[in-house]
Amino acid sequence: MIFLVDHNLEGHALLLSGTLANQSWLDLVPIHFTTFKEIALSITSDDRIVWRFAQANQMILLTANRSMKGPNSLEQVIREENTSTSLPVVTIGDANRVLTDPDYRNRCLDRLIEIVFDIDDYRDTRRLFIP
C-alpha cells in the first residue's frame, strides 16, 4: 500500500519507514511512503486535488493538518466525493510525538499496519485518526 505523505510530514515518514524496516515489517507488509515531490504534486495543491490524486492512484493520504473549512477543504471534499470504494485519509493525531516519542511512533505504525492488512474494511471510512 502506498501512503501519500502530506508535505509537512516528510521527516515523519522517514522515521516511520525506518522503524518499519528496522522491525522487519516491510518483509510482511507492503507499505511505501511517497512524497508530493516524488510524484510531482505541488505542495500548494488544494485538498480536492490531493484527495482526488490519492484516490485515482489508490494511495492513502497521510496527513496531520489538512483544512476542515472551505469548499476545497479536505473535510468538504470527503463529504462530497467519498464512495464505498474510497480509501480513507489517515490523520496523525499528534505529529510532533511521532518525532519525539518512540512508543507513540510505534503505536502509529501498529495502526498503519492494521489498516493495510484490513484495507477493504476501511474503505468508505472517510478519515481515520491514529494512533
Cell 484516490 sits on residue: 55
pLDDT digits (tens, 9 = 90+) for 6-55: 999 999 999 999 999 999 988 899 999 999 999 999 999 999 999 999 99
What confidence score (pLDDT) does residue 117 get? 95
More confident residue, 43 or 66: 43
Local confidence band at 69 (pLDDT 50, 70, 90 cut-offs): confident
Q: Determine how many CB atoms are found less than 10 A away from the CB of residue 111.
A: 16
Q: Please state the rounded mean pLDDT for residues 71-94.
A: 95
What confidence score (pLDDT) does residue 26 get? 85
pLDDT of 81 strictly over 90: yes
pLDDT of 65 strictly over 90: no
CA proximity to 10, closest of 30, 37, 31: 37
CA proximity to 61, closest of 94, 42, 86, 79: 86
pLDDT of 71 strictly over 90: no
User: pLDDT averaged over the chain?
Assistant: 94
Query: Which amino acid appears at position 3 of this protein?
Result: F
What confidence score (pLDDT) does residue 68 get? 72
Q: DSSP letter at 42?
A: -
What confidence score (pLDDT) does residue 66 get? 67
Domains belonging to the chain, first-starting first, are 2-130 (3.40.50)
pLDDT of 67 strictly over 80: no
Query: Which amino acid appears at position 43 of this protein?
Result: I
